Amino acid sequence: MSTKDYVEKDYYKVLGVPKDATAAEIKKTYRKLAREFHPDANKGDAKAEERFKDISEAYDVLSDEKRRKEYDEARSLFGNGGFRAGGPGGGTYNFDFGDLFSGSGAGGGGGGIGDVFGGLFNRGGRQAQPRRGADVETEVTLSFVEAVDGATVPLRMTSQAPCRTCAGTGAKSGTTPRVCPTCVGAGTVSRGQGAFALSEPCRDCKGRGMLVDDPCTVCHGSGRASSARTMQVRIPAGVQDSQRIRLKGKGAQGERGGQPGDLYVTVHVDDHPVFGRKADNLTVTVPVTFPEAALGGTIEVPTLNGPTVKLKLPAGSANGLTLRARGKGATRKDGTRGDLLVTVEVVVPKHVTGDALSALEQYREATASDDPRAALFKAAEGA
Ligand SMILES: [Zn+2]
Ligand SMILES: [Zn+2]
């Protein structure tokens, strides 16, 4: 059997199985066909004998995972039998491109594959391109204060890094990977012809340009290892809940000298029992008494992680009025700070007794002529 056989014979068709048939399907079909065409069952039938040979040959290749792969490789490259190669005389299952490139393998008719595919392969030996590391997504939950002030948080990252045992080559120690014969180390292959040629990642080496015969026992040949590392990540001040932060170059490491990917951190911010957040401003609701609201005065207000501030409450302040304490809000990107928005809430006492009660009753008498609903009724009638 030779490369020529690989190119010319459709083993899938011989067995009557689809190209993506599983090993079990192939085995089952083979057994059925072998019984049917076995020489013992078809004595003197030359056609059946021929068919039995074909079936056996096809099964030999397709039942062996490595040979099947080589076979698929050869056929995908050279077309399903459409190409007639003057390949090596036979005796090997290995699809040896070395022979093809040099032309030395051409034994029979035809000009040798090297002539025809020269344009495709004369990039031989070129190294595969560096590959940028993958972007990594993670999440972090900050306390309200951390989000306002910014925080350095430890992030435990699991990412793909080169395997330490094989230094990322994927090859067992003491062995080296070989250049992928399909793409000759380029990591990409051209399909189609001339102006219609397309470049795509090589399927055999998965774009890495190298093949490993004896895989590293730790990473099983992938050359990548899952590595957990804890990174200290600075989350800038003023981050909002659900905000996604990009940390350039903090993602997965690149391959073959490629740039690392980026790290995206989605930030969740815990609520604060007292303070709220409106963009760069902090918010707080402060209870005031009716006399404070009516007569005005100075009210003391808490700030986030700082000393209290005193604010002037104007006489006649309505419930829900918002006062502003400048510069007591969240830190902005430029280092300046937003404001603290203080909303006053007039509290009504649940029980009034003693002096307070008599004072209130006095107040009611004193203001008996003021009807707070007079304007309301007037407006309702007028409409
Ligand atoms: Zn390849
Ligand atoms: Zn390894």
Ligand found nearest the CA of 223: 2
Beta bridge partners of 158: 228
Res 128: pLDDT: 61
Tens of pLDDT along 186-245?
888 887 766 666 788 888 888 888 888 889 888 888 888 776 778 888 888 888 889 998
Two tokens, residue 254: 């690149």
Q: Does residue 151 contact residue 265 with C-beta atoms inside 8 Å?
A: no
Instruction: Compute the distance from residue 59 Cα to the ligand 1 centre, in Å.
Output: 26
Instruction: Compute the distance from residue 185 Cα to the ligand 1 centre, in Å.
Output: 6
Instruction: Compute the distance from residue 104 Cα to the ligand 2 centre, in Å.
Output: 36
CA separation for the pair 142, 139 (Å, rounded): 10
Instruction: Compute the distance from residue 208 Cα to the ligand 2 centre, in Å.
Output: 14
Two tokens, residue 192: 């189609």
Instruction: Compute the distance from residue 10 Cα to the ligand 1 centre, in Å.
Output: 23
For each of the chain's 383 residues, which pLDDT tens digit applies?
Answer: 455 566 667 888 888 888 888 888 888 888 888 888 887 777 778 888 888 888 888 888 888 888 888 777 777 665 443 333 333 333 333 333 333 333 333 333 333 343 334 334 434 444 567 888 888 888 899 999 998 888 898 888 776 677 888 888 888 888 888 888 988 888 888 877 666 667 888 888 888 888 888 898 888 888 887 767 788 888 888 888 899 989 888 887 787 788 888 888 899 999 999 999 988 899 999 999 999 999 999 999 999 988 999 999 999 999 999 999 999 998 887 888 899 999 999 999 999 999 999 999 999 999 999 888 988 988 888 76
Ligand found nearest the CA of 123: 1
Ligand found nearest the CA of 220: 2
Instruction: Compute the distance from residue 128 Cα to the ligand 1 centre, in Å.
Output: 9
Res 91: pLDDT: 33
Ligand found nearest the CA of 181: 1
Instruction: Compute the distance from residue 219 Cα to the ligand 1 centre, in Å.
Output: 19
Instruction: Compute the distance from residue 201 Cα to the ligand 1 centre, in Å.
Output: 8
Ligand found nearest the CA of 164: 2
Ligand found nearest the CA of 173: 2
Instruction: Compute the distance from residue 85 Cα to the ligand 1 centre, in Å.
Output: 22
Ligand found nearest the CA of 219: 2
CA separation for the pair 324, 282 (Å, rounded): 10
pTM: 0.46
Instruction: Compute the distance from residue 165 Cα to the ligand 2 centre, in Å.
Output: 5
What single-letter amino acid sits at 57? Answer: E
Instruction: Compute the distance from residue 256 Cα to the ligand 1 centre, in Å.
Output: 15
Tens of pLDDT along 298-345?
999 999 988 999 999 999 999 999 999 999 998 887 888 899 999 999
CA separation for the pair 8, 58 (Å, rounded): 12
